[in-house]
Chains A and B, each alone.
Chain A
């Protein structure tokens, strides 16, 4: 990358510097540690110079923003054109309560909605299911039928807002409900903007809200790809998620490697189902974590963008540049927050926000300071949102595109993460692709090994977590945490009884029977699901029909 003669001069100068200046300095005052490591445990050198990136071809590997391989961002002007979407993940209790929180967030300057569903909803159980007991409305909002969904978006214009829904196994059902609510508002599907997470592979790996076996789950996903490409063209049909992989304890390179390996599996499944790569790939989106090691994280996003572009172009022969652009949402790292001295979490989130923005994120959720303890209160959510607004409007980092590019460390680290991620992808290819690598427990074990190593480093004090294993104080129990009304389960049950008395049960049975027949065949299931939700068939009823035909996934328990 550099002029040959000057480069030779640098090598000589560097050698001299090491022999004289550096050695003298080390003799006088040794460094604080024998080895310096990133948050992921990778060695960081003392100094990076042009020597570390001399092999990189600028135009091929880094290039210009908006041009292949998109290392510097997928868009030519980045935040000079438009800031990222400030999208706060929220939802708890009933649809009524969550609707209030969404209106509060929009009022405070949030620019997109992000729906958190409770666990029964995410696993396809109605609130009156025995396994739902104690869980209704706890980690998100309880949605049993279209009736709840109508309340959830009451007074929110679905033509104006973009909505992200963290829903995986029952993604088709919740998307169908969203389409139906929009229809009642007079908004046609082609105008809808948003994202469903719809990423089952990482559920098997790290997040746990799976229902159906792998093959049937992949069918549901490709059905959504196909249906949306024709009917809901602005919808992001999947958010291929490294977030939860990282939360489960992976390294940054594993986060990229395993996430892109999952992405490859979805692309392969869709191509196998007969779809043209450029018909669905532009609507694939990604979701990454932001941890505390600022420079490692920035490099991670850049590496992911470059590697995905190469995969789409070289491996899948995509022609549409949109198919090669990795667009991503970021959430700050929940597992980096401490229950001790929770105010310190505001600072962590600010660093993580900078990482995501310097890495070129398209949207961002910032965690609240109290999330190691409970769901966040309105006050702590406001601080988290303000953190994004301060970075956006006061820090100056949005003024120029990809401002850290060209840093010897950042470029070397970007390359290192890309190479390590590619090694994981190659290994997973050898195992027969992500679904088989998951069934064999390979990915889970790699993550658990990394998590355990980190845990032991924390316990030995090799890794410092401020306020947790160093700089501790005696603390009183935190006050004013959010409490979910324990009666929400009963309220949902009552609503279900009323719904089932009121709806046209004959029509529900007909639609469910039609869906069941379609499940047994090969037709796209989306239209059947849309029909069923319109008649107020419940989420549990629809998922049960599919459970009956598809069976359920069995977890490979791996320590």
Chain B
């Protein structure tokens, strides 16, 4: 049997809304993945360090505060700097439609906005994580 997919669920920035992050973390765990949840207020540096140390396949970040345009690309930049850009990055939260093209161009593989189902996210990860 394949090794389970390892996921880091992270809350970057100062935003304290973690209901979504916790729901995703639980749903991924129930779908058989190994999930590490960082807790609140993680800097991009902390997230990248945790991802490398935990040897995850994918990072899922959640922001509802509007700081996504700053923080998501920063995490991706740091992954590149550390030759860890084989780790896929997906994101969710209150992300305006207008911001999505630039975030995808920056390297966010998928963005899930309010109303997304956990089953969609599970499926996306299964289909896209390179093993």
A131-139, A431-439, A510-518 - interface stretch: A131-139
Q: Judge whether B22 and A559 touch: CB under 8 Å.
A: yes
A339 to B69, CA, bound (A): 20
CA distance A340 to B16 in the complex (A): 24
Are B71 and A134 closer than 8 Å at their CB atoms? yes
A448 at the interface (CB under 8 A from B): yes
Name the B residues within 8 Å of A481 (CB-CB). 96, 98
**B26-78 interface (Cβ within 8 A of A):** 26-27, 29, 35, 37-41, 43, 65-67, 69-71
How far is it, in angstroms, between the C-alpha of A135 and the C-alpha of B67 when the chains are bound?
Answer: 5
Contact between A557 and B38, CB atoms less than 8 A apart? yes
- Beyond A208-B40, A247-B19, A339-B113, is A372–B94 a contact (Cβ under 8 Å)? yes
* A374 contacts B96, C-beta separation under 8 Å: yes
Smallest CB–CB gap between A468 and chain B, Å? 5
Range of interface residues on B (Cβ < 8 Å): 35 or more
* A123 CA / B97 CA spacing, docked (Å): 28
User: When the two chains form the complex, which single residue of B23, B65, B67, B119 contacts A451, counting CB atoms closer than 8 Å?
Assistant: B23
**Cβ-based interface call for B5 (8 A):** no
Task: Decide if B39 touches A131 in the complex (CB within 8 Å).
Answer: no
B96 partner residues in chain A, CB cutoff 8 A: 373-374, 481
Residues of B88-130 at the interface with A, using a CB-CB cut-off of 8 Å, are 94, 96-98, 113-115, 117-119
Within A106-141, which residues are at the interface with B (CB < 8 Å)? 119-120, 122-123, 125, 131-135, 138-139
**Interface residue? A503 (CB, 8 A):** no
Q: How far is the CA of A464 from the CA of B24 in the complex (A)?
A: 20
B15 touches A119 (CB 8 A): yes
Across the interface, do B69 and A134 meet the contact criterion of CB distance under 8 Å? yes
Cβ of B85 under 8 Å from chain A: no
Known: A138-B65, A373-B94. A559 touches B113 (CB 8 A): no
Q: Which residues of B contact A42 (CB under 8 A)?
A: none
* B115 contacts across to A, CB distance below 8 A: 338-340, 468
Which residues of chain A come closer than 8 Å to B27, judged between CB atoms?
452, 455
**Which of chain B's residues have a CB closer than 8 A to the CB of A138?**
65-67
- A555 contacts B40, CB within 8 Å? yes
Can you name the residue of chain A whose Cβ is closest to the Cβ of B43?
A131
Report how far A249 CA is from B22 CA in the complex, Å.
11
CB–CB A335/B70 < 8 A: no
What mask results when residues 473 to 495 of chain A are scored 1 for a CB within 8 Å of chain B, else 0? 00001100100101000000000
CB neighbours (8 Å) of B22 from chain A are 448, 451-452, 559
| Contacts of A134-177 to chain B: CB distance below 8 A | 134-135, 138-139
B25 cross-chain contacts in A, Cβ below 8 A: 559
A209 interface hit (Cβ, 8 Å): yes
**Chain B residues, Cβ within 8 Å of A375:** 66
Nearest chain B CB to A255 CB, angstrom units:
14
**Contact partner of B19 among A119, A120, A451, CB < 8 A?**
A451
Interfacial residues of chain A within 322-343, with CB under 8 A of chain B in the complex:
335, 338-340
Q: Is the CB of B94 within 8 A of A374?
A: yes
Distance in angstroms from B30 CB to nearest chain A CB is 9
Contact of A338 among B16, B66, B114, B118 (CB under 8 A): B114
Asked if A119 contacts B40 (CB within 8 A), the reply is no
Q: Is the CB of B19 within 8 A of A557?
A: no
Interface assignment of A207: CB less than 8 Å from any CB of chain B: yes
A499 close to B (CB within 8 Å): no
Does A397 interact with chain B (Cβ within 8 Å)?
Answer: no
User: Residue of A at shortest CB range from B63?
Assistant: A134
Q: Chain A contacts of B23 at CB under 8 A? A: 451-452, 455
The 10 closest A-B pairs by CB, nearest first: A208-B16, A134-B70, A477-B97, A557-B39, A134-B67, A119-B14, A138-B66, A339-B114, A135-B67, A468-B115
Beyond A134-B70, A373-B94, A374-B96, 9 additional contacts (C-beta under 8 Å) are: A120-B14, A138-B66, A139-B66, A248-B19, A451-B22, A455-B23, A477-B98, A557-B39, A559-B29
**Chain A to chain B contacts (Cβ below 8 Å), 18 pairs:** A119-B13, A120-B14, A123-B41, A125-B14, A131-B43, A134-B70, A135-B67, A138-B65, A209-B14, A339-B114, A340-B115, A373-B114, A452-B22, A478-B97, A481-B98, A557-B37, A557-B38, A559-B29
